[in-house]
Amino acid sequence: MLILNEIVNIWSVVLLLIALGTISFTHYSYRWRNPKCKNGKLPPGSMGLPLIGETIQFLIPSYSLDTPPFIKKRVARYGKLFKTSLAGKKMVLTTDPEISNYVFMEEGKSVHLWYMDSFDNFLGAALINSTATAYAHKYLKNLFLNHVGNESLKDKLFHKIELMANEALSSWSTQLSVEVKECTAIMIIELVLKELLSYDSTKSTHNLVQMLSEFIKGIINIPLNVPGTTFHRCMKNQKKVLELMKDILRERQNSTEERKGDFVDQLIDDVKKEEFMSEELAAVLMIAIVFASFETVSTAFRVAMMFLTDQQAPMVMKELLREHQTIINNRENADFPLTWQEYKSMTFTPQVINETLRLTNGIPGIVRKATKDVHINGYVIPKGWIIMVVQTAIHMNPDKFKDPLSFNPWRWNNIGSNIIGKSFIPFGGGKRNCAGTEFTKVLMSVFFHVLVTKFSWTKVKGGQAVRWPGLSVKDGFHVKISKKKTI
């Protein structure tokens, strides 16, 4: 009888603990699904499961360049401003150009730059913490503009970019096929390493493209640093790339050779004179300029060539070739290199680039973090919440861009400055407009000039766009490059 009573008592305790656990979890789940806002009303939306939120639904791939179904369904149900939870963070997403512009203009007031946790960890605390002040923000933008801004592009990089394009395309033409994003990424990384970091990539045994691509895959995932996860691979690559950049920096610091006046030399000088700068931050900035240079551009090249290869693209190709052939025909010598004046004279090529960038949207969105309560359209976004501007939805808005899924460069003939300013944001908005904007445009324009006048290509395989919610292409996009016969 005593043993039976003890068993009953044990089970009573177990059942009590289960009951308390159930009540506690139910209460936590209710609070998770119904977050409070002390100073107003939260935007409508759903928070999904505790901790996980709606991350799984967000990551479901969509085989189209269009706005992902995750966004479309919630906009239809809640409107263009809605709450959710992704990668363990409470968020508000917006697809409204006016709200997005307001968020951009609030930077430094009620919001500040924020990266996904995986991005924070990849770049390290050095960059995130150092950019907390307005002075550091201005310094970093000027640093990049000094080396990839208009003057530097015009005086130092322009002809080197054309030479790079000629050499790369000639090399690709000797191969059975090339994957467009992969080969253009390698081309750009080698250019940046050579011209901005004065580094010979053939010395390295590391595959920078692969390591940085792994980072892209890990950026939106839950930051679970466990072997086998995408985030774990992301962090392993972060350590390798960071050490490689530190090695380059130290080698240059200890070198007795003449200064090169490049990005690395400026970092070395600034480590000595800027209080917030350190060797760690300098190495992180070296990663940042390599990453910022290749990822967006190589993705855009892939999308552009997919559309230019499409059966409906002959008119685009005809006009693109006409513009670049006219430039050559107007020269005293057809073999002269492209000039800055000729680049600035292009009118149709910038439209092709704009249309490509509108359709590309290689990142899930542009994110900011609320540093105080943000009041928008009668709602409140609480301090500490994340705000994501969904570029894809803004760029695919049929009210702003008629027949948005069509590749139509001519649409840019009649688009007003207000739409371009608020509804076309491939390089961000407000104070955070990307310092590499002109670099991207120059690189793509020069590459197209060489490609269409000297080479042709045919599709080999691939070309199925996938939003995951960033942009990838199933099986890549493989083409055969051929030199045009000269008469």
- The Cα–Cα gap between 192 and 302 comes to 19
Q: Which residues, including other chains, have CB under 8 Å from residue 24's CB and lie 6 or more apart?
A: none
Classify residue 45 by its DSSP letter.
B
Phi and psi, residue 456, nearest 5°:
-135, 170
Closest CA to 443 of 356, 366, 376: 356
Two tokens, residue 377: 């359209």
- The Cα–Cα gap between 73 and 361 comes to 19
Dump the DSSP string for 321-380.
HHHHHHHHHTSSSTTSPP-HHHHHH-SHHHHHHHHHHHHH--SS-EEEEESS-EEETTEE
Burial degree of 270 (CB within 10 A; 0-12, 13-18, 19+): middle
What are the C-alpha distances in Å from 277 to residues 144, 145, 214, 269, 362? 15, 18, 27, 10, 30
434 is in an annotated binding site: yes
> Most distant CA pair in the chain: distance in Å?
111
The packing angle between helices 230-253 and 263-273, to 10°, is 80
Two tokens, residue 253: 């610091």
Q: Which residues, including other chains, have CB under 8 Å from residue 314's CB and lie 6 or more apart?
A: none
- The Cα–Cα gap between 372 and 190 comes to 42
Dump the DSSP string for 420-453.
HHHH--TT--GGG--TTHHHHHHHHHHHHHHHHH
Binding positions are 434
Binding positions for heme are 434
